[in-house]
Amino acid sequence: MIKTRLTELLGIKHPIIQAGMGPFSNNNLCVAAANAGCLGLLSTSGLFNKDDQPWVYNAFCETGEANPDDDMGKVLDTVLKRTHRLVKDKGGVFGPNVMVSAELKEYSKIMIETAIKAREENPEMKNTLKVMYTSAGDPMGWGDMIKGAGFTWIHIIPSVRAAMRCKKAGVDVIVASGHEGGFHTHWEPLHSMVLFPGVVEAVSDEKTLVVGGGGVSDGKTLAASLAMGCDGVLMGTRFLATQESDFPRLWKQSVVDAQDRGTLVARGYVGPARWLRNPRSEEHAVNTLKKSPGVFLGTPDSYMTMEDTSLIDFENESIKAVYEEDKEKAMMAAGECAQRINDMPKVADMVQGVMKEAEEILRGVQKKYLV
């Protein structure tokens, strides 16, 4: 068995975090991941899209056994309590993934306050709802609220500079997210092999843990991440293509079917995004080059300031098509590791396979190379 500082800190069996995957529902996936001994994360940003993307919002409510007519705080409260009920007997650990970008600050506060209140009303949830995971924004200013409520705070970043800001903010676990990752990726293409050791060297100490994400999908990549000094890994695409995953059937099967060079980068909701390669995403990449060239130049722009909203409309139509199983118009996000995923197992079986392979590799490296 592999033990790390992450497993000790959170009380989980394996040093694996199942990615938040917002804005799409992963309510059942989170339960399966937590019960398999990993840290499960709940997506929450789909709650912001009740009117703009009802197919995403309704799927979140349906899989979370929530009333879609309730306000977002009540919906999340229902999902949090459902998750606790389904993981507590197996000692599962989970938390919500909350986007904290400036334009979402009002919503972010509701999400965090809802989780705090849920634990206050049901102290038993402190044994399962242990983590607050924040993303897509500046961590400064959130520490008192999150850590003051007793959560372990995890934040995801794309660079050493951003990791240093997390350190200053008091984040407990910093996730270094390489450019190989799926969907929301970064303006500057810094990849995991460079990013992981860079962040470890910059911030890892007795108070700050580092987790590596981006391209991690099996025991080989888990072992490599640990060898670079990480305390654990974040996996998204590998969890997406599992039997318990809430993602639409077309999306999951497309990950399994992905081949060599099976992804590309084009515009996404909050910046660059990695998509599975198909004629639809190739068209989107061409349009991105014309209308949002900063995606390829590392120059941030914003949908909020664009006069031409056709990229947004194209993306919304493409995501809706996935839920309608319209292959011609569908566009699915995934990480580069999709080309290495060839099956759709149960979560528990997948996790056991990853851990077994990683253990064998770590033992083998010692025997083969240390004399």
The residues pairing with 177 across neighbouring beta strands, listed in sequence order, are 213
| Band of pLDDT at residue 28, cut at 50, 70 and 90 | very high
Question: How many structural domains comprise the chain?
Answer: 2
- Report the 10 Å Cβ neighbour count for 199: 30
In a domain, 338, yes or no: no
Residue 369's pLDDT is what?
Answer: 83
Res 301 pLDDT > 90: no
Res 264 pLDDT > 80: yes
Q: Which alpha helices (H) appear in the chain, and where do they start and end?
A: 5-10, 27-35, 54-63, 72-87, 105-121, 143-148, 160-169, 192-203, 219-227, 237-240, 249-257, 279-291, 294-297, 310-323, 347-369
Res 231 pLDDT > 80: yes
| Band of pLDDT at residue 344, cut at 50, 70 and 90 | very high
In a domain, 150, yes or no: yes
The rounded distance, in Å, linking the Cα atoms of 247 and 249 is 6
User: DSSP state, 326?
Assistant: -
Residue 302's pLDDT is what?
Answer: 76
Residue 53's pLDDT is what?
Answer: 87
Q: Which tokens in the block code for residue 232?
A: 């654990």
The rounded distance, in Å, linking the Cα atoms of 194 and 278 is 29
Give backbone dihedrals phi and psi of 93, rounded to 5 degrees, phi first. Answer: -125, 135
Residue 136 CA, chain-centre distance (Å), reads 11
Closest CA to 203 of 176, 152, 164, 230: 164
In a domain, 339, yes or no: no
Same domain, 164 and 273: no
In a domain, 21, yes or no: yes
Residue 48's pLDDT is what?
Answer: 85
Same domain, 149 and 297: no
| Mean pLDDT over each residue of the chain, to the nearest integer | 94
Same domain, 267 and 128: no
Same domain, 246 and 264: no
Asked if residue 30 lies in contact with residue 18, where contact means CB atoms within 8 angstroms, the answer is yes
- Residue partners of 343: CB distance under 8 A and separation at least 6: 241, 256
In a domain, 156, yes or no: yes
Same domain, 165 and 122: yes
Asked if residue 350 lies in contact with residue 238, where contact means CB atoms within 8 angstroms, the answer is yes
In a domain, 321, yes or no: yes
Same domain, 128 and 213: yes
Asked if residue 29 lies in contact with residue 246, where contact means CB atoms within 8 angstroms, the answer is yes
Same domain, 195 and 297: no
Asked if residue 264 lies in contact with residue 179, where contact means CB atoms within 8 angstroms, the answer is no
The rounded distance, in Å, linking the Cα atoms of 300 and 288 is 13
Same domain, 364 and 293: no
Residue 277's pLDDT is what?
Answer: 98
Same domain, 87 and 192: yes
HSE of 366, CA atoms in CB hemisphere, 13 A: 6
In a domain, 326, yes or no: yes
Residue 371's pLDDT is what?
Answer: 72
Same domain, 81 and 199: yes
- Residue partners of 357: CB distance under 8 A and separation at least 6: 218, 219, 220, 222, 223
The rounded distance, in Å, linking the Cα atoms of 342 and 339 is 8
In a domain, 111, yes or no: yes
CATH of the domain at 36: 3.20.20.70
| Band of pLDDT at residue 22, cut at 50, 70 and 90 | confident
Same domain, 88 and 218: yes
Closest CA to 135 of 263, 224, 41, 206: 41
Residue 270's pLDDT is what?
Answer: 82
Res 8 pLDDT > 90: yes
- Report the 10 Å Cβ neighbour count for 45: 27
Same domain, 193 and 301: no
Segments forming the whole domain that contains residue 302:
259-333
